[in-house]
Chain A
Amino acid sequence: MTTDNEDDIIATLSDYVEGTLPAAKKTEVEAKLATDATWKRIHGELVETTKSHDEISGLLKARKEPAPESFTNDVTATIHKRSAGLFFGRRTFGDRVPFSALLVVAVIGLLVIGYILWSSQTGSLKMDKRRGETPGSSIEVVPKP
C-alpha cells in the first residue's frame, strides 16, 4: 500500500469492493479512502461499475454464440484435406523428425568410414587382397605331380 500506482490501487480496491481483502489491509484501505482523492475517485468508479456490471455481464452471457452444428466435422475434414488423409495415426518416429538422433548416427558413420580409410593400406575402402596371406598359402611349395 506504499505505492500510489493506479493499477495497484485498482487491484487493491477491486478486492476491497469484492470483499476478498484481509481484515488488516481493509483497515489500511479505509484510512486511504478517508484521506486520498485518487483512492476515493477509483473507489467511486468501482462501485458504479459493479452496479452496472451484473446487467452488462448478464446481457453478454445471455448471448453466448454456440459453434455451428457442422463445426466438428468441418475441422476434422480440414485436417484430412490438408494432410491428404495422413494426419491421424501415429507416425513411426512420432511427429517430429528426430534430427538429433540422425545427427549422432551420421557422425558415428563418418567416424567409422574415417577409421577404415585411416587404417586401410590401399588408401580406399577396397580390401588389400594380399593382406593376411602367408607366403605358403598362395604359392604351392610342392608342385602337383
Chain B
Amino acid sequence: MSEERSLLRRLRDRDERAFRELVQAHRDRVYNICYRMLGNRSEAEDVAQEVFIAVFKTIDSFREESKFSTWLYRVAVNHCKNRIKYLARRHDRDRDELDENSGGINGATTGMPVRAPQPDRALEGIQMEEVLREAVNSLDEEHRIVVVLRDIEELSIEEICEITDLPDGTVKSRLHRARLALRKKLQKHMTS
C-alpha cells in the first residue's frame, strides 16, 4: 500500500519513470478488459492507451477513497463504453451510406461490429478464440461488462459494484443473465 502511495505521489509530480512503472504493472489487465469489451485488438490498444493518458492527466482528482486499481478499471470501463457507442454510431452511419449507395441491398447488420460466422469452425486454437470472442461480443454491453470483470478478470462482486456504480443485486442478476446467454451460445462447443 505504501508502495502504491509512493507511486501515486511520484505520478502527481509528473515523474515519467513512475508513469512507465504504472503502465508496466497494469497494461495487460487494462488491455485485456478493453479487448474483451471491444472485441478488436487495434481498438483495444488505442483505448488502453487513452485510459493511461486519462489516468495520468487526472491523477490529482483520485482521492484514494478506493483502491487505485478499482479507479483505473473504472476509467477503462467508461472509455470502453464510450468507444462502443462511438463505434455503433459510426457503424450506423456507414450502413446508412451503404444503403444510400446500394439501394439498401447490403445493409442488414446490427449494432456492434461482429464478423459473419464462418462454417467449419474447429474447437481449438485461434478458431476457439474466435468463437469465444464472438460469444462475448454478442452479449449486451451491460452483461459483457460484468462477465469480463468477474469471469475473466476475477474481480470481486464488491469491486464490480464500485467500478460499475451498480448495486450488489443488479450486478449479480446481470452476471446470471450474462452467463445464461453465454452458455446458450457456447453450448455446442462445451464438454459438459
Contact = CB atoms under 8 A, between A and B. Distances in A.
Are A and B a genuine interacting pair, yes or no?
yes
Interface string B149-192: 00110100000000000001110110111011011001100111
Contact of A64 (B16, B28, B191): B28
A53 to B, nearest CB: 6
A88 B15 contact: yes
A102 interface: no
Chain A interface, DSSP helix/strand/loop, else mixed: helix
Interface in B124-153: 128-129, 132, 136, 151-152
Given A60-B152, A90-B14, A75 B49 contact: yes
A6 B192 contact: no
A52 B190 contact: yes
Which of B57, B129, B179, B191 counts the most A-chain CB atoms under 10 A from its CB? B179
B173 to A, nearest CB: 4
A11 B169 contact: yes
B72 to A, nearest CB: 13
A123 B15 CA distance: 54
Given A67-B31, A88-B16, A56 B183 contact: yes
Interface string A72-83: 101110110010
B173 A10 contact: yes
Contacts of B70: none
Given A10-B173, A59-B128, A74-B49, A67 B27 contact: yes
A109 to B, nearest CB: 28
Contacts of A15: 172
A51 B114 CA distance: 28
Interface of B: 13-16, 19-20, 23-24, 27-28, 30-32, 35-36, 41, 44-45, 48-49, 52-53, 56-57, 60, 128-129, 132, 136, 151-152, 154, 168-170, 172-173, 175-177, 179-180, 182-183, 186-187, 190-192
